[in-house]
Structure 1
Amino acid sequence: MAQMTVGVSLGPVVARMRALDGRLHPRDGVAVFNRVYLAVTEELGRRIGDGEFPVVRTAETLAVRFAERYLAAVDAASEDEPVPACWRPLFQYRRHPGVRPLQHALAGINAHIGHDLPIAVVATCRALAVPPAALEADFDRVGDTLVALEERIREDLMPGPDLLEVADPLTHLLGSWSLDRARDAAWSSARLLWTLRDRPDFVREVTDSLSAGVGLVGRCLLTPSGR
């Protein structure tokens, strides 16, 4: 299959995700999320190239800063360095036989949206010397891209019909998490972090607490449901 061409700024992070896709075992939970996120980033690159984002530099900067957070977690894990609390459950349960691919995908999305996205927004604001309000339209467009792909992700990775009974615990578990709610919470967190930007001690406290809370949700999403 031909690989999608992306913008120059997104090229390096997409190349790294493609390399990971070729290196990780397909059933590895990190590989599952990586494939999902690679598809999201390539789609963002296509939409940016098609002119759906009015200010290309802003959109690409946000997308790159966003991706770099995930790739930093991958680097930390590969070097046996501490992984942020929000990402720790995915890396701990990446090979658990009782955790299904859709759980891995949603746990990764939860970590990336809930923790990494607000930090990426603030980093983008600093890089471009603009307040969060200047990024809100691009933030919403990135969120719309994620929401559009979430349904496809669930369809592609949802277990077979025998596991879709209303009473099945997996059905309730996966229905308990909402990308829309996570996106709204991420925007609120970004605004708070921007307000605290001149108080690094408070920023550290808030980001550590945010990472721990998001990690707890991720751990719940990864509850083993059987082989």
Structure 2
Amino acid sequence: MTETTMDTAGAVGTSTADTLWPPRSSQPILTIDQVLARMRALAPGFPPGDGVGVFHRMYLTVTELIAAKLDSGYFADPAALAVLDALFAGRYLAAVDADAAGQLPQACWRPLFELRRRPGIHPLQAALSGMNTHIEHDLPLAVLDAARQLGRDPLSFEADYQRINDLLAQVEAQVRGELLPEPDRFQVVEPLLHVIDVWSIDRAREAAWGTVLTLRGLRNAPLAYRALVAALDGSVGMVSRALLTTLS
């Protein structure tokens, strides 16, 4: 896989419409191989019981699975998908970097980082809270990031976007199976199921694609565009915080 780094300050026009796309990180855009190397290096640093670490390990599994599919013919446009996936991961890694620097992550990520060690929160809640933030907030903005980076219409990513659904569903089912308590611990299972059953990965990804379509349609309405991006940050954060409701 190519290891060249794409610079975010590439040749992009400065028309009014172009400035409406979500701002890109000032950091270089990494390749998938570089993203995986960074995530693997970070993984041992999360102590047991750390909610961010629970999400991180799950997300590393997803990223490894997608990377393995890039050269297998699974995706219609693997080169573009690789750019999208690296940009997608970069938004999570930016939250990790902000926290490590003693800064507040974006509002959508703040609940998981603030409550990462709070007693009474089950690891499955942390995994789903991170997935909610990353899918409903980061994913649609990453699609627009990739569209801007490649000079493409966001709709051109739809086919491969849908192909990722099966991969994510596979990992989510695995995570639920590994982290859900045994039925004999009913006093824990009942409230946990009440919290996690309000969230669905399929609905989250449908909502994220709806956000892509909405933002695409607002490229020439800057006030509405920016208002929706700001509202998305806060509203996704509220749901992620609700998923972290303490059980005891």
**TM-score, normalisation: structure 2:** 0.84
Residues 49 and 164 from structure 1, CA distance in 2 versus in 1: closer, same or farther, beyond 3 angstroms?
farther
When the two chains are superposed, the root-mean-square deviation of aligned CA atoms in Å is 1.8
Shift of 1:49: 2.1
Residues 110 and 7 from structure 1, CA distance in 2 versus in 1: closer, same or farther, beyond 3 angstroms?
farther
Shift of 1:204: 2.6
Shift of 1:198: 4.6
Shift of 1:161: 2.1
Residues 128 and 122 from structure 1, CA distance in 2 versus in 1: closer, same or farther, beyond 3 angstroms?
same
Q: Check the 8 A contact 2:183/2:189 in 1, yes or no.
A: no
Q: Which deviations, in whole Å up to 9, do the C-alpha atoms of 1:14-36 show, x marking residues without a partner?
A: 11111111111132110000000
Specify the alignment match of 2:208 in structure 1.
186
Any residues of structure 2 matched to 1:1-227 within 5 Å, and which? Answer: 8=3, 9-164=31-186, 168-226=190-248
Give the residue type in structure 2 aligned to 1:156.
E
Give the residue type in structure 2 aligned to 1:46.
A
Counterpart-to-counterpart distance in 2, 1:167 and 1:77: 31
Give the residue type in structure 2 aligned to 1:140.
Q
Percent identity at matched positions? 45
Shift of 1:199: 4.6
Give the residue type in structure 2 aligned to 1:57.
A
Give the residue type in structure 1 aligned to 2:171.
L
Where structure 1 has 5 or more consecutive residues not aligned to the other structure, the ranges are: 1-5
Residues 137 and 165 from structure 1, CA distance in 2 versus in 1: closer, same or farther, beyond 3 angstroms?
farther
Q: Which has the larger radius of gyration?
A: 2
Q: Which deviations, in whole Å up to 9, do the C-alpha atoms of 1:114-154 show, x marking residues without a partner?
A: 10000000011111111122100111112221112111110
Where structure 2 has 5 or more consecutive residues not aligned to the other structure, the ranges are: 4-30
Deviates more, 1:38-47 or 1:24-33: 24-33
Counterpart-to-counterpart distance in 2, 1:158 and 1:42: 23
Structure whose residues are more often helix by fraction? 1
Structure 1 stretches (4+) deviating beyond 6 angstroms?
none
Q: Check the 8 A contact 1:165/1:171 in 2, yes or no.
A: no
Deviates more, 1:168-177 or 1:111-120: 168-177
Give the residue type in structure 1 aligned to 2:47.
H
**TM-score, normalisation: structure 1:** 0.91
DSSP-derived class of the 1:125 partner: helix
Specify the alignment match of 2:6 in structure 1.
none
